Amino acid sequence: MGAYRVTGNRSCFSAFRVLRSRGYICRNFTGSSALLTRTHINYGSKGNTLNKELHSEFIDVMNEIWANDQIRSAVLISSKPGCFIADADINLLAAARPLRKEHLRKEKSTKPVVAAISGSCLGGGLELAISCQNTIATKDRKAVFGAPEVLLGILPGARGTQRLPKMVDVPVAFDMMLTGRNFHADKAKRMGLERTIEYLEVAITFAKGLADKISAKRDNELEIGRKTDSVHHNYSPAPLKIIDVVKTGIEQGSDTGYLSESQKSGEIAMTKESKALMGLYRGQVLCKKDKFGAPQKDVKHLAIVGAGLMGAGIITQVSMEKGLKTILKDAILTGLGRGQQQVFKGLNDKVKKKALISSERDSIFSNLTGQLDYQGFEKADMVTEAVFEDLSLKHRVLKEIEAKVIGMHYFSPLDKTQLLEIITIDKTSKDTSASAVAVSVKQGKVIIVAKDGPGFYTTSYLAPMMSGVIQILQEGVDLKKLHSLTTSFGFPVCAAAVADDVGVDLAQHVAEDLGKAFGEQFGGGNPELLTQMVSKGFLGRKSGKGFYIYQEMSLKMPPKSEVSLDENIQFRLMTRYVNEAVMCLQEGMLARHAEGDIRPVSGLSFLPCRGGPFRFVDLHGTQ
């Protein structure tokens, strides 16, 4: 149940009067303001979610305020640390209608309501806050503002599209609503969203004083400081709908704008793109849930073998900043030195971007110990092997470590790729899995758990698609055209470009191994092409030439019209991808199809509004 304390003072009473309404407590407060303190809104959750229960209770308590003539103003604040309202329940979008009415009452009320914000204020929480006559926020890193609805293929549907452009410049409002980016309190202040206060207690006092002073008169004039160009979006209809609704409000007035927002909000929520994005969101929530419980011992000390790009990256981006004491071990001094320099550079880049201050950088870097031997490894709670992709070398390292083993498949770039694939076998203990998950959660990763198998889940579905790319190129399709068809279908780049990035020599090695493991299932193009490319020095980006020579495209052959239709090419690539994902689910490598959709989007930048391979099957049918 939700709980609000609504505190207000009547000038004619000195004693407290308590009113109760389904979890709310209303009592007197010095002055004529009501202080609304929200607690335990979503039981069992760290943050507050704007769900059906909160909708109902919030409207009830606001009705008490409107009905009480002795309360002249109110302050809304969360009592959950680090969170005002983080988001809304996407299963209850229809419940936005009563909130729209309540927000309108706050906007037009002669009783000013002020939002005092400490922590996340996102989505429906932002719409609630900006419907108040003023907002105050604590000046700390936990106070963030954002309108992420566009990332779900919907629009801010509780008056956000009309209210936000009145608070900030229209281009700034578009930036928030069309990108879904979050802003910290200091930037929100510069944008005009709120005032920042250093401490929470001061913020409450200031907000109460402001609520007593501000006038109920509303300014209905909208100043447009500069023109905003239309944004064209090829895939999700949400951005263009947001622009259309905002434009309607500016040109035809707020009432028409609110009606348009309500209509478009309902229409867009029913599109296949929105359903795909919401499915991905639910999948991410599912992947973030703890599947194995708490480990017997909390992981506080981490050791990493291998100071290369991945090993040092694991330290820089996802371990030391989370407070883990870390040992970095390499076989040679020059390699260790490069790894330590990479760690420091990664932290220093964050100082340049003002994400850290220099003292924080130095404090984090002090958590790192570099060495050439295994001294102190016995004290480590977890050891991560990140040596070169050589099976004999990995076997030797594992024998030297003598530890319980579990696979943790990271993806580059580590700081931008949320995904982490945890690989288990039948003998993997629950506690080992729990420790790996606990570290991954601390590192901020979205986790999928997969059974061990050739290439794991991720490579096993990408490799057949690469084989299909080779076949299409050998049939004579121009590489520029193939790249265009692949990206227009929803992939960030052509699979040939991925091979260039990771190295054609590595792609050839993977193709050889998986070809032996999968046989005809892996068939398609002739893998001898990769062998020839490697022998002639076409190793990809690192050698300046691969599938792409970066001046003009190679691999031209007379095209065969019967296999070169644009739609045929796109679906041939996609079906290789999808069929392998389905096989992974059938064979038990994946436990749930939701995880199978998350991996391509989080790790390969597969177009989110297509929803992943299993959503693709739902939309197009199994035939």
* SS3 labels along 249-285: HHHHCHHHHHHHHHHHHHHHHCCHHHHHHHHHHHHHH
Residues of the chain with pLDDT under 50: 1-31, 37-44, 94, 195-204, 206, 208, 210-211, 214-234, 553-557
Same domain, 405 and 507: no
Regarding whether 474 and 389 lie in a shared domain, the answer is no
pLDDT at 418: 77
Element (H, E) at 246: helix 238-252
Give the domain extent around 520: 457-588
Are 447 and 335 part of one and the same domain? Answer: yes
Asked if the structure places residue 277 within a domain, the reply is no
Sign for the pseudo-dihedral over CA of 371, 373, 376, 382 = positive
In a domain, 191, yes or no: yes
Same domain as 432, residue 469: no
Four-residue CA torsion sign, 544, 545, 546, 547: positive
Here the CATH number for the domain that contains residue 449 is: 3.40.50.720
Does one domain contain both 449 and 461?
no
Q: Which two structure tokens, joined as six digits, stand for 55?
A: 């909708």
The string of pLDDT tens digits covering residues 429-447 is: 888 888 888 888 888 788 8
Q: Is residue 237 part of a domain?
A: yes
User: Total domain count for the chain?
Assistant: 3
Where does residue 152 fall: left (phi above 0), alpha (psi -120 to 50 degrees), or beta otherwise?
alpha
Same domain, 262 and 307: no
pLDDT value of position 199: 43
Note whether 422 and 504 are same-domain residues. no
In a shared domain, residues 448 and 315:
yes
For residue 402, the SS3 value is coil
State the pLDDT at residue 511. Answer: 84
Give me the pLDDT at residue 220, please. Answer: 28
For residue 243, the domain's CATH number is 3.90.226.10
Please report whether residue 616 resides in a domain: no
Confidence (pLDDT) at 88:
67
Query: What CATH number corresponds to the domain at position 559?
Result: 1.10.1040.50
- Secondary structure class of 17 (helix, strand, coil): coil
Two tokens, residue 119: 């922590």
Let me know whether 465 and 446 are in one domain.
Answer: no
Question: What pTM value is reported for the model?
Answer: 0.67
Residue 404 DSSP class: -
Residue 375 covered by a domain: yes
User: Phi/psi at 24 (nearest 5 deg)?
Assistant: -95, 145
pLDDT, tens only, 144-203: 889 988 888 889 988 889 988 888 888 888 888 888 888 877 777 777 765 444 444 444
Q: Is 389 a catalytic residue?
A: no
CA 391 vs. chain centroid, Å, equals: 34
In a shared domain, residues 200 and 219: yes
Residues 494, 379 share a domain: no
Is there a contact between 575 and 524 (Cβ–Cβ < 8 Å)?
A: no
Same-domain status, 167 and 255? yes
Residue 368 domain-assigned? Answer: yes
Helices in 519-558 by DSSP H: which ranges?
A: 528-535
For residue 395, the model assigns a pLDDT of 82
Residue with tokens 């190793």: 539
Pair of tokens at residue 356:
């850290």
Residue 384 has, within 13 A of its CA and on its CB side, a CA count of 29
Q: For residue 554, is it within any domain?
A: yes
**Single-letter code of the amino acid located at 236:** S
Measured between alpha carbons, how far is residue 64 from residues 4, 50, 115, 149 in Å? Answer: 12, 20, 18, 31
Write down which residue in 436, 454, 472 finishes a domain.
Answer: 454
List C-alpha distances in Å: 156 to 80, 178, 575: 24, 10, 35
Residue 316 CB neighbour total at 10 angstroms: 25
Catalytic residue (choose from 421, 520, 528, 567): 421
Residue 314, in any domain of the structure? yes
Q: Which of 192, 186, 177 is nearest to 236 (CA)?
A: 177
